[in-house]
């Protein structure tokens, strides 16, 4: 089948358009967090709140208490709440101080909603680019590393939007999800770009749609889990510093370290069966294509190493009760094996899976 050059060019235009809109969404998410940080630093001074701290009590600056309530509501897309965030300005307070307290979180929320809208628009443009690429070649559009990158980035955004549609309070992830998406697409269009062309014979199989699709979705889920893990490590470190000592910043608008740890664990527990299925499907495809289920090809080997690392992560949490940093480091090692398999094995190590399409 001849390649439709017009549709292939449309796909390229849609990718660049999606990247432009993703950039706008990235700026909006950054502005939302910056607005919150500005609110912390500039709000009118009010007496400190006393909260329990282990066996004693600790006086925490009220701006930190206020923003703790805003972080949950802003990340879920709702209006800022909590009595601290709504504290009225004292009688005789300077003009405008009450407005600062009440309106800045609302403005940050509006900017965050704009970010979500731009993300949806970018996702549609991105999906259109994947679709037109497939139509241009008359096949599934993930036959080389460029196409896998583009489809994988779409999966990352899709996971984020799916969590929002399900009502999960994950808008705080916007900045940290769209950033990697832009990096992936930038790598695709500058380093990995390949003209639309027909598949090599070994890839002409129904298993391309089964095995590779499962792998692409898994990449999206693993990437979101990695982002949550990194944020957990940062937030955990911050929480070890006394609230009265640390400087307020945008991390105050994110969930607690414990909540981030649970979210990362759930993401990894959800994706692990799908990754297992992707490996099994690949083995079945290998038997159809090469007459054996497993041959310890470099890509097969590293896919298995990834499976072992994440199995160890889940096992450690379920049996020996590893939580927090120990489990997080294992999860990051697992994502490191994914990157090695994708970037090093695909490009520089020769094997039966050498279909990167990168010259």
- Helix, strand, coil distribution of the chain in percent, nearest 5: 70, 5, 25
Model confidence over 94-122: pLDDT tens digits? 444 444 454 667 888 899 999 999 999 99
In a 3-state reduction of DSSP, which class is residue 309?
A: helix
The residue ranges of DSSP E strands in the chain, in sequence order, are: 49-53, 56-60
- The DSSP annotation for 121-153 comes to HHHHHHHHHHHHHHHHHTS-S-SSHHHHHHHHH
pLDDT at 242 over 50: yes
Q: What is the pLDDT of residues 297-319, one digit of tens each?
A: 888 999 999 999 999 999 998 88
47-84 pLDDT, tens digit per residue, is 344 333 333 333 344 334 444 444 444 444 444 334 33
pLDDT of residue 302: 93
At 173, the pLDDT band (50, 70, 90 cuts) reads very high
**Cα 119 to the center of its chain, rounded Å:** 13
- pLDDT computed for residue 295 by the predictor: 85
- What angle in degrees, to the nearest 10, is found between the helix axes of 325-339 and 213-239? 140
| pTM for the whole structure | 0.79
As separate numbers, helices (DSSP H) first and strands (DSSP E) second, the chain gives: 11, 2
Under 8 Å between Cβ of 327 and 316: yes
pLDDT at 346: 82
> Which residues are CB-neighbours of 81 under 8 A, at least 6 positions away?
69, 70, 73
pLDDT of residue 243: 65
113 token code pair:
């909603």
């Amino acid at each position: 089948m001849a390649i439709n050059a017009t549709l292939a060019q449309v796909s390229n235009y849609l990718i660049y358009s999606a990247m432009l809109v993703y950039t706008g969404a990235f700026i909006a998410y950054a502005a939302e967090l910056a607005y919150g940080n500005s609110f912390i630093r500039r709000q009118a001074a009010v007496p400190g709140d006393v909260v329990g701290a282990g066996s004693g009590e600790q006086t925490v600056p009220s701006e930190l208490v206020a923003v703790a309530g805003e972080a949950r509501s802003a990340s879920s897309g709702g209006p800022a709440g909590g009595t601290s965030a709504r504290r009225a300005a004292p009688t005789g307070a300077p003009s405008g101080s009450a407005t600062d307290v009440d309106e800045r979180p609302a403005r940050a929320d509006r900017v965050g909603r704009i970010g979500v809208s731009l993300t949806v628009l970018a996702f549609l443009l991105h999906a259109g680019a994947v679709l037109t690429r497939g139509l241009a070649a008359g096949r599934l559009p993930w036959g080389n590393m460029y196409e896998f990158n583009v489809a994988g980035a779409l999966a990352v955004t899709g996971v984020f939007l799916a969590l929002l549609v399900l009502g999960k309070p994950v808008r705080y992830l916007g900045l940290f999800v769209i950033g990697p998406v832009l990096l992936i697409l930038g790598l695709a269009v500058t380093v990995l770009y390949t003209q639309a062309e027909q598949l090599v014979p070994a890839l002409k199989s129904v298993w391309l749609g089964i095995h590779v699709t499962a792998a692409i979705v898994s990449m999206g889920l693993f990437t979101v889990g990695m982002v949550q893990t990194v944020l957990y490590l940062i937030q955990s470190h911050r929480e070890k510093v006394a609230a009265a000592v640390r400087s307020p910043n945008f991390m105050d608008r994110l969930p607690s370290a414990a909540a981030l740890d649970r979210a990362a664990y759930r993401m990894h527990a959800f994706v692990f069966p799908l990754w297992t299925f992707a490996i099994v499907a690949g083995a079945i495809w290998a038997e159809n294509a090469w007459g054996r289920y497993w041959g310890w090809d470099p890509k097969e080997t590293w896919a298995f190493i990834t499976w072992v690392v994440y199995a160890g992560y889940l096992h450690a949490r379920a049996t020996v009760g590893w939580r927090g940093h120990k489990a997080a480091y294992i999860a990051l090692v697992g994502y490191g094996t994914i990157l090695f398999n994708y970037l090093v094995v695909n490009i520089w190590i020769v094997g039966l899976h050498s279909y990167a399409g990168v010259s």
